[in-house]
């Protein structure tokens, strides 16, 4: 981070007098006092604990200065501001603009982390590239990412998360992206938005910080025109859209396709048509960024994806586990069921689906869970396990569609959690030749089921 103390003070409008304080270079900015090292700037944020309570600890660990919203009785340098988080965000916006780094922003109800990783791998073949680490995609994580990028960064890929209307607007105005990607507009966080149109409106706020020459890449299956400027450059992707897949071939743990804008076949070491779509978009971002086709193909063939997304694992007894337990919404659940259903079954093996609650769906949760029945085919799935209070209406519907004994339900309440019973039931029936899919919201802890199956 190439910033000095006085420069930061000027950018954030610190109100205390620093004329007698030496203008020293700063190393990093940290909001966790335990991570502070010599030369760092401390950022005291208000959470479960007030970060101001840890200012002395930060100084003891080597902080050269601190932000503060209170006048301090100390001889150590500090920057007095009205709102430390706002100062942090203003500093990140300034730093991105000052460095001139090329910003690519990615958001979406599903697939944003995978697409971010794909874009990063492609751009890294040609440029010094940095990306959002982990889930640092909110009002704290995005500015933290910007201020922690290496000094020689040429392109930065920033993931933008959304829980409420206005979240993306803030992040876009900090980042000012040149290219903005919206991977999918589904029903994630419907509880907070009320409708898919409101979710689309929130996602389109990714344009609010974009310049006139910016490019939006968005899915073709949703109406976004009411939420974007008339002269906005928009590239749509999807079946029969401006960007689309050709010759898609899906295998158990890989796939291949041709983008309609490249005379090359792209191979991915992951399953799922939705991943082919993510790769299609990432490849186009590479094209817009002057990456050679060979680099695009090579990068996608050797992906380094964030863990806990869709991945094949092995049960201890040899059964194939398709784990997709990081998060869930109706669109994502339909897509993974579509992928799982299309994969040829193992000789002599069964196909088993384990589905848990999709959270944050608001008043529509019952109907959205029940709607999953259209993606559950008894001709394909031999057994279905359902877990959680919200998914119970789907269980009632599945009993009408599936043969007796092939659908099981396990509850989760404050008084009783049947997760262990679910694990026992699956272990008792899972054979070495079986294939089993697990999908649900992260809070439902299906990751524990996966872990238990790996150690039968």
Give the 3-state secondary structure of residue 388: coil
Measured on CA atoms in the order 185, 191, 192, 197, is the torsion positive or negative? positive
Beta bridge partner(s), residue 384: 353, 407
Give, in order, the Cα–Cα distances in Å from 281 to each of 120, 129, 288, 324, 388.
12, 18, 11, 21, 35
Region 3-10: mean pLDDT is 97
Per residue in 98-117, pLDDT (tens digit) is 999 999 999 987 889 999 99
Q: How many CB atoms lie within 10 A of CB 426?
A: 24
Q: Span 49-68, mean pLDDT?
A: 96
| Residues annotated in a binding site | 108-114
Q: What is the pLDDT of residue 168?
A: 95
Domains of the chain, by residue range, sit at: 3-81, 100-301, 311-454
* Residue 385, CB-side half-sphere exposure with 13 Å CA sphere: 26
Q: Taking the domain 3-81, which CATH number applies?
A: 3.40.1390.10
3-state SS record for 170-204: HHHHHHCCCEEEECCCCCCCHHHHCCHHHHHHHHH
pLDDT reading at 190 higher than 70: no
Topology alike, domains 100-301 and 311-454: no
CA–CA separation, 381 and 367 (whole Å): 22
Q: Is the pLDDT of residue 200 over 70?
A: yes
- In this model, does residue 131 exceed pLDDT 90? yes
Predicted local distance difference test score (pLDDT) of residue 222? 84
Query: From CA 101, how far away is CA 179, in angstroms rounded?
Result: 12
- For residue 448, give the 3-state DSSP assignment: helix
In whole angstroms, what is the distance from residue 153 CA to residue 102 CA?
9
Report the share of the chain in percent with pLDDT over 90: 78
Entry field: residues in the chain: 456
Instruction: Quote the mean pLDDT of the chain.
Output: 93
For residue 243, the 8-state DSSP code is B
pLDDT of residue 304: 79
Count other Cβ atoms within 10 Å, centred on residue 341.
Answer: 17
193 and 199 Cβ atoms separated by less than 8 Å:
yes
Q: Name the range with the highest mean pLDDT among 92-101, 214-223, 342-351.
A: 92-101
> And the tokens for 186?
């589904």
Token duo for residue 418: 């049947």
Mean per-residue pLDDT, 397-425: 94
Q: What is the pLDDT, as a whole number, of residue 56?
A: 96
Q: Quote the pLDDT of residue 439.
A: 96
pLDDT, position 217: 97
Which residues participate in the annotated binding site for ATP?
Answer: 108-114
For the stretch 308-350, pLDDT in tens is 467 889 999 999 999 989 888 888 899 899 989 988 889 999 9
Choice among 116-125, 316-325, 355-364 with the minimum mean pLDDT: 355-364
Assign a CATH topology to domain 100-301. 3.40.1190
Bridge partners, 435 (sequence order): 320, 351
Tokens 């259903």 appear where?
Answer: 341
Edge-first strand order for the sheet with 266-268 is 245-250, 255-259, 266-268
Spatial contact of 319 and 404, defined as CB atoms under 8 Å apart: no
Distance CA 103, CA 298 (A): 23
Closest Cα to residue 184, out of 203, 159, 207?
203
pLDDT at 194: 52
The C-alpha R_g of the chain, in whole angstroms, comes to 24
CA–CA separation, 21 and 41 (whole Å): 15
The predicted model scores a pTM of 0.83
| CATH 3.90.190.20 describes domain 311-454 | yes
Average pLDDT over residues 431-454: 95
pLDDT of residue 193: 53
DSSP state of 139: T
């Amino acid at each position: 981070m190439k910033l000095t103390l006085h420069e930061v003070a000027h950018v954030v409008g610190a109100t205390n007098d620093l004329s007698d304080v030496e203008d020293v270079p700063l190393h990093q900015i940290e909001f966790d006092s335990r991570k502070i090292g010599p030369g760092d700037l401390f950022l005291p944020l208000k959470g479960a604990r007030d970060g101001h309570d840890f200012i002395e600890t930060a100084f003891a660990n080597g902080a050269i200065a601190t932000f503060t919203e209170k006048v301090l009785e100390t001889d150590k340098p500090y920057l007095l501001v009205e709102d430390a988080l706002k100062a942090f965000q203003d500093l990140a916006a300034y730093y991105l603009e000052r460095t001139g780094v090329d910003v690519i922003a990615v958001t979406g109800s599903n697939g944003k982390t995978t697409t971010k990783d794909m874009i990063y791998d492609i751009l890294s073949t040609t440029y010094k590239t940095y990306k959002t680490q982990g889930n640092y995609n909110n009002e704290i994580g995005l500015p933290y990412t910007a201020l922690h990028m290496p000094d020689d960064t040429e392109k930065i890929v920033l993931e933008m998360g959304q829980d409420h209307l206005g979240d993306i607007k803030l992040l876009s105005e900090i980042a000012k992206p040149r290219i903005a990607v919206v991977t999918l507009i589904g029903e994630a966080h419907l509880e907070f938005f009320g409708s898919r149109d409101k979710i689309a409106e929130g996602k389109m706020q990714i344009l609010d910080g974009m310049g006139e020459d910016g490019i939006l890449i968005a899915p073709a299956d949703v109406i976004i025109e009411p939420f974007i400027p008339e002269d906005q450059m928009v590239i749509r992707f999807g079946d029969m859209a401006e960007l689309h897949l050709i010759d898609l071939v899906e295998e158990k743990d890989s796939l291949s396709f041709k983008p309609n804008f490249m005379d090359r076949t792209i191979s991915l070491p992951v399953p799922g048509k939705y991943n082919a779509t993510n790769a299609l978009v990432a490849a186009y971002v590479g094209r817009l960024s002057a990456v050679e086709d060979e680099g695009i193909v090579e990068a996608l063939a050797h992906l380094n994806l964030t863990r806990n997304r869709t991945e094949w694992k092995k049960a201890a007894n040899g059964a194939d586990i398709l784990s997709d337990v990081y998060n869930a919404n109706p669109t994502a659940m339909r897509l993974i069921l579509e992928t799982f259903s299309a994969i040829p079954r193992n000789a002599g093996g069964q196909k088993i689906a384990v589905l848990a609650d999709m959270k944050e769906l608001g008043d529509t949760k019952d109907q959205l869970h029940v709607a999953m029945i259209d993606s559950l085919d008894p001709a394909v799935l031999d057994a279905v396990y359902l877990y959680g209070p919200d998914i119970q209406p789907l269980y009632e519907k599945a009993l009408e569609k599936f043969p007796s004994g092939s659908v099981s339900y396990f509850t989760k309440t404050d008084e009783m959690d049947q997760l262990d019973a679910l694990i026992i039931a699956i272990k008792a029936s899972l054979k070495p030749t079986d294939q089993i899919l697990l999908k649900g919201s992260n809070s439902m802890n299906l990751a524990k089921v996966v872990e238990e199956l790996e150690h039968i």
